[in-house]
Amino acid sequence: MNNLIEDLNWRYAAKRMNGQTIPQEKLDTILEAIKLSPSSVGLQPYNIVVISDQDTKDRIFKEAAPQQQIPEASHLLVFAAWEKITAQQITDYMNLIATTRGISVESLSKFQESVTGGILSRSEEVNFNWAARQAYIALGHALVAAATEHVDATPMEGFNNAKLDEILGLTEKGLKSVVIMTLGYRDSENDALSNAKKVRRSHEELFISL
């Protein structure tokens, strides 16, 4: 069994965490993995709020997400999708491509036209849902990266999005929260499932070969 599969077998969505702080280098690795996550046309239409402040975690727990991992985690990552996608954001992305690759913006004109036409022809609701799906791809990268660092990571939905957006000031930034990931270390003594066998469908049931 290779190391990645071993790490993924170790991975567990911890129900309780012990409050221990993650080393900065491990956090940096997880954040870099998020940055390197693929997204449709490469736009990365989301931001990630990185929260270590205990008062903020406690407030989120009390007002928006009453899951015990929230105050016990070392860090919270809030994945927030762009509420609207604008022509200016697309232009900024084209400028970033040109600068990064040392090419002219003009050479990207057809690509920019295609991206702009495809995205801006859709409704804001469709674009937000699309942006949220891109954020979930980044979440997947983060979960795998955390496993390779042996940092426990728990993805969370079911929270009060509007209240969380208010606490973090996301609305004025043009963002909406879509998913939370807690980072920390499992509290095995207070988490009855921490040593339970992982339950997954069989290979034959899960995959369809054609």
The whole-number pLDDT of residue 2 equals 81
Pairing of β 175-184 and β 152-156 = antiparallel
Q: What is the mean pLDDT of residues 194-199?
A: 90
The whole-number pLDDT of residue 1 equals 54
Superfamily per CATH, domain 3-206: NADH Oxidase (3.40.109.10)
Q: How far apart are CA 126 and CA 82, in angstroms?
A: 12
- The radius of gyration computed from the CA coordinates of the chain, to the nearest angstrom, equals 19
Q: How far apart are CA 94 and CA 63, in angstroms?
A: 39
The whole-number pLDDT of residue 194 equals 85
Q: What is the mean pLDDT of residues 117-142?
A: 98
Q: What ranges do the domains of the chain cover?
A: 3-206
Confidence category of residue 192, pLDDT binned at 50, 70, 90: confident
Q: What is the mean pLDDT of residues 60-82?
A: 98
- Percentage of the chain beyond pLDDT 90 is 95
Does position 135 have pLDDT exceeding 70, yes or no?
yes
pTM score, whole prediction: 0.96
Q: How far apart are CA 138 and CA 166, in angstroms?
A: 23
Averaged pLDDT score across all residues of the chain: 97
Nearest to 126 by CA among 45, 181, 194: 45
The whole-number pLDDT of residue 195 equals 85
Q: How far apart are CA 105 and CA 31, in angstroms?
A: 29
Q: How far apart are CA 184 and CA 153, in angstroms?
A: 7
**3-state secondary structure (DSSP) of residue 192:** coil
Does position 75 have pLDDT exceeding 60, yes or no?
yes
Does position 103 have pLDDT exceeding 60, yes or no?
yes
- Fill in the DSSP letter of residue 83: S
